[in-house]
Structure formats: C-alpha cells, structure tokens
Amino acid sequence: MAVRMRWVVLAALALGASATQAHEFSPGFLGFTELEADVYRVQWKVSLTGGLAEGLLPQLPDECTFTGELSAYVMGDARVQQRDVRCDGGLAGRTVSIDGLPSTMTDVLVRIDYLDGGSVTHLLTPAAPGVVIAEAQGALAVVVTYVVLGTEHILIGIDHLLFVLALLLLVNGVRRLIITVTAFTLAHSITLGAATLGLVDVPQAPVEAVIALSILFLAAELGRKAVGYGDSHDIALEFPWVVAFLFGLLHGFGFAGALADVGLPPQAVPLALLFFNVGVEIGQLIFIFAVLGLAWAWRRVRLPAPPVWRVAAAYGMGSVAAFWVFDRTIGAI
C-alpha cells in the first residue's frame, strides 16, 4: 500500500509541476480607430506573460508616421500602448505585420474601425505574421476569425480543459455525459453573452480564482469516487449536470474576459459573439473526442492500466487546481 501511495504522490507532483509551468497566452490586439481621413489612433495590447510584451513589435506601413505622444499603461496581465498615426492614402492595400510572432504560441487580432462605422478584422498567427489590409470585408471573415479565436482559447486554456476532463472521469454513461456537457455548454454560453454585452460586470481576478476552485472541487469528488468514499448522495455523482451548470456559469465569465482582450467589431457584435462561442464549443468537442478516442484506443490494445490511475489523476488535478487557487487569490488581492 505504501508503494502504491508513493506512486500516486509522485504522479500528482509530476502532473502538477508540468501544468503549473504552462501559461495561457492571450491573443494580442492591434487596433486602428480612424479619427479623420488617413489619421488613426493605434492601440497595441499584448500580454506580459512569457515575455510577449518585449518580444512582439508591430510593423506599420512605410507610409505611416506617428504623431502626438505615446501613452502606456498596464491593465491586468497586459501592457497597453496608444498613439496617433497618419497613414497617407489610408491603410487599405497596405501591409501590417508583427515582428517576433513566428517564435511564439499566440495570435494577434488586427482590427481597423473606420469613420463610416465599417470595420475590417484580420487574425495574424505565427505561421502568417503579416497581412495586407482589406478595403472591405464581409460577414464570412468575421465568422472565421472569431471561430478560430474561440477554438484556440479553449484548447490553450488548461484550466477549462482540466474541468472538462474531470467531468469526463466523473460521469458514467453516455446519456449522463451528454446531459452534463450540454449543461456546461448552456451555462457558459449564458454568462459569456451577458458579460460581453455588458448586462453583468464581474471582476475577472476573483472569477479566475473560483474557476480554479471548481476544478479542485471536482478533483476531490473524483478522488472520493476512486477510493470508494463517494455515495449516491454526493451531488457531483448523483446530479453532475447541476454541478456542470453552476460552475459553467463561472467559466463563461472567464471566456468573456478572454474575449474582452480583443473586443468585438462594432458593426458585427452579435455575429462575432455567436461564432466566438461556436469556436469555444468546437474546441471543447475536439478535446472531448480526443480523450474518448484515447480511451477507446487504450481498450483496443488492451494495455494494463495501473489500478490507482484514477486516484493519481484526482491528486494531479487537485494539486494543480490548489496551486491556482492560492496563486490567483493572491493575485486578486
């Protein structure tokens, strides 16, 4: 028994060490707001995490010259810089790029808001760090951009993925799993929309701390189930969809915080919000099917699984979540 518990603790520490070293890289934002013909207010917002603020540098067209003073400030985990610029002949047909982007794991959203109310949105990636600004843009470009942003956000959001993984390990039966995942989806869709549209305003730092607490709660329930301490009166075991819905409301506020980092195009707010949420669901389904696929493959090859793997998973997720709870709570003070 002592050998088994030592294996569990080592596995938990290994998972905790690797996951706590990972960071969620928020996308950068380069915005141009037209003040008058050929004159724009430029906003450059980039995460301080992982040295991105020092490693990324926007490159504007040669026809653009800065005017006025540079203002800079820190907002949350991001550095924001603003300055006016004159671009003779406008931005359409000109190239904007981000130096240093190919060596990162993040994207940069570029948006130009024109005086007439129109806007153009482009997503720069490590594989495509530059773009020729379009003169006009249809709804399809907005759809593609925000689907990609939503999908990437969930796939690099380790805390959200750990919560979903805990649900997958906790729930037995396909029907109960479908109901539970649907409840989580419905809940975070409600709060994502409400927060993004300004119907509710919740501070982001406490939300992130409670999201970590939700993972710790599920890890504890998973551990109880693994060692046989759980019973039919445990709400997480008897009504997992209720737990998924309640905590899903919190995760929706977390998604809204990520969307707030890049904002929404003024002329297509509902469309961008809808398809960011669609992207989140696509990313969530990709992760779920990947986990289920790995489980199916494991059963097909009939590899022996350590008898305490569920306990190890619970300890690992719980260790990471507990670290996040303390770290995010201290950060919120």
pLDDT tens by residue, 309-326: 778 888 889 999 999 999
pLDDT recorded at residue 305? 67
DSSP 8-state assignment for residue 105: S
Written as six digits, the tokens of 241 are 């969809």
Mean pLDDT of 153-160: 87
This prediction has a pTM of 0.79
Rg (CA), the chain: 22
Sheet containing strand 57-59, strands side by side = 57-59, 95-99, 130-132
State both tokens at 128. Answer: 């495509």
Where are the domains positioned within the chain?
Answer: 2-23+157-332, 28-137
Q: Which uninterrupted H or E stretch holds 150?
A: helix 139-156
- Rounded to whole angstroms, the Cα distance separating 185 from 3 reads 40
The pLDDT of residue 277 is 92
Q: pLDDT tens digits, residue range 182-217?
A: 999 999 999 999 988 888 888 888 888 899 999 999
- Joined tokens for residue 189: 């869709």
CA distance linking residue 306 with residue 201, whole number of Å: 46
pLDDT at 5 over 50: no
Residue 260 pLDDT greater than 90, yes or no: no
pLDDT of 300 strictly over 70: yes
Does residue 17 carry a pLDDT above 80?
Answer: no
User: What length does the chain have?
Assistant: 333
**Residue 2's pLDDT is what?**
39
pLDDT value, residue 10 = 39
Q: From CA 50, how far away is CA 22, in angstroms rounded?
A: 10
Task: Describe the chain by its helix, strand, coil percentages, rounded to 5.
Answer: 60, 20, 25
Residue 19 confidence (pLDDT): 45
Instruction: State residue 303's pLDDT score.
Output: 72
Q: Confidence band (pLDDT; 50, 70, 90) for 230?
A: low
Strand partners, 98: 58
Bridge partners (DSSP) listed for residue 39: 36, 86
pLDDT digits (tens, 9 = 90+) for 279-290: 999 999 999 999
Residue linked to tokens 């009504």: 239
Q: What are phi and psi of 203, to 5 degrees?
A: -55, 135
- Please give the helix or strand (H or E) that residue 157 lies within, else none: none
Measuring CA to CA, which residue among 167, 208, 203 is closest to residue 185?
167
Tokens matching residue 136: 């006009």
pLDDT at 29: 92
Q: Determine which helix (DSSP H) or strand (DSSP E) holds 141, and give its type and residue range.
A: helix 139-156
Q: Which residue has the tokens 């088994």?
A: 4
If you write DSSP's letter for every residue of 193-205 in order, what string do you get?
Answer: HHHHTTS----HH
Summarised one tens digit per residue, pLDDT across range 116-143 is 778 888 999 999 999 999 877 778 888 9
Contacts 24+ apart (CB under 8 A), 100-103: 100/55, 100/56, 100/57, 101/56, 101/125, 101/126, 101/129, 102/126, 102/127, 102/129, 103/55
β-pairing, 108-113 with 28-36? parallel
